[in-house]
Structures are given as structure tokens and as C-alpha cells.
Amino acid sequence: MQVAQQIRDIITAQFAPEKLELIDDSAKHAGHSGADPRGESHFSLLIVSKSFEGQNRVNRQRLVYGALDDLLKNRVHALALKTMTPEEWANQAG
């Protein structure tokens, strides 16, 4: 199974997101330290979920990193996160 699909599956199961955007940024890092020749090593991830209500930014990121722990240790070199509640997302879109 592709890394991107594994990330989507884990995030969906753990956070039931209202919005999930996953971008594979690996091509931008080809040849750099940490770049995996197989690809799928650098990602940007947006999660909008009620699970983040009452959590500060650091705690939200800890939750996501905890959910993706095995992938981050073994396959993903870099993960840029944006975590929002549905209300924050609606206000941003505003």
C-alpha cells in the first residue's frame, strides 16, 4: 500500500476529518538529505476535525504525530501539518 494511502487511512480512522488534504511534496526534495528514492517521503497535511476542539496547536500536532508514529519513524522524513477545528476552518474561509 502506498504511504499516502496509509496516511489517509490512519487519519480518517483516528480523527474522522471533515476535510483532509494530503500533498506529496517529495519531488521538491529529490536528491536532498532524507529524500527516499522510492518517493513518498515528504508531505503536507491539512486536517479539519472536531477532535481538535479544546486542543492547542502543539497538542494537536502531538496527536497526529502519535497516530502516524510508525510511518514517521520508518518511511516519512518530513510532515508539514495544519490542524484546524471545523469552526476555525469556516472562519478562515469566511
pLDDT (0 to 100) of residue 11: 98
pLDDT (0 to 100) of residue 10: 98
Query: Please, which residues have CB within 8 angstroms of residue 46's CB and are 6 or more apart in sequence?
Result: 19, 20, 21, 22, 82, 83, 84
User: What structural domains does the chain harbor?
Assistant: 3-93 (3.30.300.90)
Burial class (CB in 10 A: 0-12, 13-18, 19+), 1: exposed
pLDDT (0 to 100) of residue 36: 52
pLDDT in tens, 5-30: 999 999 999 999 999 999 998 866 45
pLDDT in tens, 43-79: 999 999 999 999 999 999 999 999 999 999 988 888 9
- The CA-based diameter of the chain, rounded to the nearest angstrom, is 41
